[in-house]
Structure 1
Amino acid sequence: MGPLTSIRTMRLWGPRSLGVALGVFMTIGFALQLWGGPFQRRLPGLQLRKPWARSPQPAAASCLPRQRLVFLKTHKSGSSSVLNLLHRYGDRHGLHFALPDRYQFGYPRLFQASRVKGYHPQGKVGGQTPFHILCHHMRFNLKEVLQVMPSDSFFFSIVRDPAALARSAFSYYKSTSSAFRKAPSLAAFLANPRAFYRPGARGDHYARNLLWFDFGLPFPPEMRTKRGNLLPPKEPLTPQLHSLPSATGPRAQNKDLSAVFQPISTVAEGHGRTASPASSDSGSLSFIQWGLAWLDSVFDLVMVAEYFDESLVLLADALCWGLDDVVGFVHNAQAGGEQGHGAAGNGGQTAEERQLTARARAWNHLDWALYVHFNRSLWARIEQYGQSRLEGAVAELRARREALAKRCLEGGEALDPKYISDRRFRPFQFGSAKVLGYRLRSGLSPGDQEECERLATPELQYKDKLAAKQFPPTVSVPLKTARLLAP
């Protein structure tokens, strides 16, 4: 997966057919008019990314660790675990983070550079921005991100199967989303989402196409009106799925995006219907293809939660980091949910669970398009990396994680928060399910204590720690002393 070269750009916008071209440009024009922020022309200094190629081995002289990083932290996709490894890496190497005043950059509004603590327009040192890592929750806005981070930064993010994401989001944002709050259960919500969901209602961006929203992409015109798109797109025919023996998530093989949106019969709004989804319209399909191509031109890597460890190995390779730099513990996991990042997929599910999965993917059809696209591109990258080589690296990564857990953690695993008395390691509790955390073993050596604390510190406490380190409180001089020092 790599950015668009000039040739690929010409192919993307080339007049393959008059009808499709007209639809594409009309849609883009509409999007630019209403959503110009994230889709501004690239700034003169922005370098278009080269097509992805296998990076050299860390031992190669030409491979230098990447330290200018932009991580789009998407919701409920395993991103807190990625955030922890970025916190630890930056903390160990004395890097500067672009931090929010609180814990998010004005979310759900689009990211603005002015929300970065310590940011000053044109405030570059030696022609370089003072920040190394931008990684906290935001709604992506490339134009403003490039005011804070250099254009040659490594951009990456993570996606998750929208069916698994919906289950987690419903539990976590039950009190935040008006649509979820009104629904007695996720099954009831997905059986008739229009009975609960109102576009633009407070918190309802959590209830539909949350990944698409977090990436800052505009929505197709028919989804912007309260009366538009009355029926959710029907469940796509699932692409042929394969998996590694060590993984449980789906691997998308389908190369035809239009096949992702094949209509099937479902029950919607109390009536059994078979209808072509809005997304199968050539204009909407072109809109989605354009959005995905745009993301390809910006992001160097998009990880897949269902292949979290495989994604970490590829991340370490792309950044010229070692495995120790990306090994860590799962953060922000909910009790009763998946322990780890694998998904059940469709295998072994009951008929009711398969129906729930199908409805979740259909309702979140833009997220499903994102997921299929980046799942496929991840596997293309795995094939270039070498599957046997990858399996060896994943096994080593998991062995190191297990060794760290035995060395650092009481019980060797995540615990219910009621067992965590030290507030430094007690995760923030939100939603209906308990968020698990870690308790350190006693008697650790000073070196182990420091590293284990980094591994176990939740994202909010770590952000506060980094803020205190970067912006130490100023000590005011007492008034009498000040008078003595005055000339």
Structure 2
Amino acid sequence: MKHLLKDPIEGRDTIKQCKTSTRIVFLKTHKTGSSTVASIFQRFGFSHNLSFVIPRHGHMFSITELFNRSFAEPNQKYDMLVNHVRYNRKEMDTVMKPDTKYITILRDPATQAESMFGYFKIYKYLNMSTNSNPFARFLHRPQHYMNEYKSFKMREHLQNPTLYDLGFETSKYLNLTQIQYFIENLSHEFDLVLLQEYFNESLILLKKLLCWDMDDIVYISKGVRINKLRFSQSDRLKKKARDWNSADTILYDYFNKTFWKKVSEYGSDFEKDLNLFERKLNETFYNCIISDEKRKVFHRSYTYALKSGSGIKCEMLLWTDIMFTGKIKNASMIDHRGSLMSAGCDNTICLLVKVVNTAFTYLGSLSIR
């Protein structure tokens, strides 16, 4: 399709030839900003009446099982798959429509490891609740704790969590040849790998890849960890975190290089588009949110208070990926094939109004990460 784009500097209309992509697998990874990215995809798909592969129970398929076609309804093809599950390209291809884009996001293990440890309260499973900095204590002897505690929640994600999410097996973490071979294959299978440390830059690349509009990638952060679940990190501790997650470090360093290559290939407009996007983000936050000081604590994360009368667009920006999944289910807007039903609507606006009106009835039963 042809997009008519307004030049933000000169005010001229320019024609850019590109085809909008609406078929997406977003492979969520843990504590990388993936919940915010997933909510961007869900908002787009929700607003455009696209079909989603949705977990039958809860908001995740699995954090330990590889995706399997049995997770979806038989003989159906879908537009989007964005809920937590381990990557399995062959099985995912069987349920997705042709020309699906595959996207994921990474974070430097130096900070991701601490975020995982705090957010999921892993210190409780290791009997470290009374320690002033349990993360530092863990990294002093990580293998000792892995040997001593053989089974606990999130154990598989305590070392190299991102490669694990991407389908790599824990038994191969010390095999450098296998790690490099696996990463090389990923580089051919994924259309774009985002970086948490360069989140807005990543979304500019995403916008270009999908031929979306600037409004489609606007966001308000989700899953921002509360301060009491954070632990101080020295440079020495960050190095220990990278060493302990050595396979993930290789993964991150590889795609860090390819990321900046894509930025370079974007062209001279990259900085201009990035500045325009960040201005739009600031305007959106100002128009929608009361203030940063009014953040509310829910469970392990901060959330925000909407300005009165800010409208449905602002409300949707605060819906988390968990809420989107829950609203689709609880509003009974999924047919037996797992795709959004029009339920008597003949256009997207009608559908959206129906979903919003019905979904808010169930807000009390929904959990927010």
TM-score (norm 1): 0.61
Q: Distance in 2 between matches of 1:145 and 1:176?
A: 34
2:305 — aligned with what? Answer: 439
Specify the code of the residue in structure 2 equivalent to 1:466.
Answer: I
Q: CA deviation at 1:107?
A: 2.2
Contact 2:123 2:135 in 1 (8 A): no
- What's the CA shift for 1:213? 0.3
- 1:408 is aligned to 288
Deviation for aligned residue 1:115: 2.1
Cα 1:87–1:162, aligned 2, differ >3 Å: closer, same or farther?
same
Which residue is 1:206 aligned to? Answer: 157
* Contact 1:105 1:137 (8 Å CA) reproduced: yes
Structure 2 residue 170 is matched with structure 1 residue 289: no
For residues 219 and 472 of structure 1, what CA distance do their matches in structure 2 show?
37
Return the match for 2:279 from 379, 390, 399: 399
Structure 1 residues 443 and 178, CA gap change in structure 2 (3 angstroms)? closer
Q: Does 1:107 align with 2:63?
A: yes
1:347-367 alpha-carbon deviations (Å, 9 max, x no partner): xxx9x7011000000000011
- Unaligned 5+ residue runs, structure 1? 1-55, 124-128, 224-278, 340-349, 418-426, 476-487
Choose from 95, 105, 110 the match for 2:50.
Answer: 95
CA distance in 2 between partners of 1:368 and 1:73 (Å) = 18
User: Which of 322, 328, 332 is equivalent to 1:460?
Assistant: 322
- By how many angstroms is 1:180 displaced? 7.8
Determine if contact 2:118/2:229 at 8 Å carries over to the other structure: no
Relative distance call for 1:412 and 1:171 in structure 2 (3 A) is closer
Cα distance in 2 between the residues matched to 1:312 and 1:360: 27
1:470 is matched by which residue type in structure 2?
A: M
Counting aligned pairs with the same residue, the percent is 30
The verdict on how the C-alpha distance between 1:62 and 1:337 changes in structure 2, with shifts beyond 3 A counting, is: farther
Q: 1:145 to 1:471 in 2, by over 3 A?
A: same
Give the Cα separation in 1 of the matches to 2:157 and 2:70.
25
- Deviation larger for 150-159 or 174-183: 174-183
SS at structure 1 position matched to 2:105: strand
> CA 1:155–1:414 in structure 2 vs 1: closer, same or farther (change >3 Å)?
farther
Question: Counterpart of 2:285 in structure 1: which amino acid?
Answer: A
User: Comparing 194-203 with 309-318, which one deviates more in the overlay?
Assistant: 194-203
Deviation at 1:471, TM superposition (A): 1.9
Contact 2:296–2:305 (8 Å) recurs in 1: no
Deviates more, 1:353-362 or 1:175-184: 175-184
Matched position secondary structure for 2:234: helix
Q: CA–CA distance in 1 between the matches of 2:195 and 2:255?
A: 7
In structure 1, the partner of 2:136 is 187
Looking at structure 1, the residues matched to 260 and 248 of structure 2 have their Cα atoms a distance apart, in angstroms, of 18
Residue of structure 2 equivalent to 1:259: none
The amino acid of 1:94's aligned partner reads N
User: Could you say which residue in structure 1 is the equivalent of 2:333?
Assistant: 470
What SS does structure 2 have at the residue aligned with 1:292?
Answer: helix
The residue identity in structure 1 corresponding to 2:196 is A
Shift of 1:466: 2.2
CA RMSD of aligned residues (A): 2.9
Instruction: State the one-letter code of the partner of 2:84.
Output: H
Query: Radius of gyration: which is bigger?
Result: 1
Note the C-alpha offset of 1:313: 0.1
CA spacing shift, 1:383–1:398, aligned 2, 3 Å: same
CA distance in 2 between counterparts of 1:79 and 1:180 reads: 29
Counterpart of 1:145 in structure 2: which amino acid?
M
* Correspondence for 1:362 among 220, 243, 248: 243
Distance 1:187 1:327 in 2: 36
Query: Distance between the aligned counterparts of 1:337 and 1:380, measured in 2?
Result: 38
Mapped partners of 1:312, 1:414: distance in 2? 27
TM-score by length of 2: 0.80
Conserved? CA contact 2:117–2:123, under 8 Å: no
Q: Is the 8 A contact 1:415 1:437 kept in 2?
A: yes
**Mapped contact 1:159–1:371 kept (Cα < 8 A):** yes
For residues 136-285 of structure 1, the aligned pairs below 5 Å read: 136-175=83-122, 178-179=125-126, 184=131, 185-198=134-147, 201-202=151-152, 203-219=154-170, 221=172, 223=173, 284-285=175-176
CA distance in 1, matches of 2:144, 2:100: 44
| Corresponding letter in the other structure for 1:144 | E
**How far apart are the structure 1 equivalents of 2:120 and 2:281?**
30
Q: Does the CA-based 8 Å contact 1:162-1:361 persist in structure 2? A: yes
Match of 2:28 in 1: 73
In structure 2, relative to structure 1, the CA distance for the partners of 1:370 and 1:196 (3 Å cut) is same
2:9 maps to: none
Within 2, Cα distance between the matches of 1:381 and 1:115?
34
Tell me the amino acid that sits aligned with residue 105 of structure 1: F
2-structure distance, mates of 1:132, 1:338 = 36
Report the count of equivalent residues: 321
Aligned CA distance change for structure 1 residues 165 and 288 (closer, same or farther; 3 Å) = same
Q: CA shift at 1:84, angstroms?
A: 1.3
CA drift of 1:465 comes to 1.3
Q: Aligned with 2:102: secondary structure?
A: strand
Is 1:320–2:320 an aligned residue pair? no
What are the Cα deviations for residues 308-351 of structure 1, in whole angstroms up to 9, with x where unaligned? 00000000000001111111111101123999xxxxxxxxxx9x
Higher relative contact order (CA 8 A, sep 6+): 2
Matches within 5 A, 1:2-81: 62-81=17-36
CA deviation vs aligned residue, 1:230-281 (integer Å, no higher than 9, x gap): xxxxxxxxxxxxxxxxxxxxxxxxxxxxxxxxxxxxxxxxxxxxxxxxx5xx
Q: Report which of the two has the higher share of helix.
A: 2
What secondary structure, in the 3-state scheme, does the structure 2 residue paired with 1:98 have?
Answer: coil
1:306 paired with 2:193, answer no
Q: Distance in 1 between matches of 2:157 and 2:136?
A: 16
Q: Which runs of 4+ in 1 moved over 6 A?
A: 56-59, 472-475
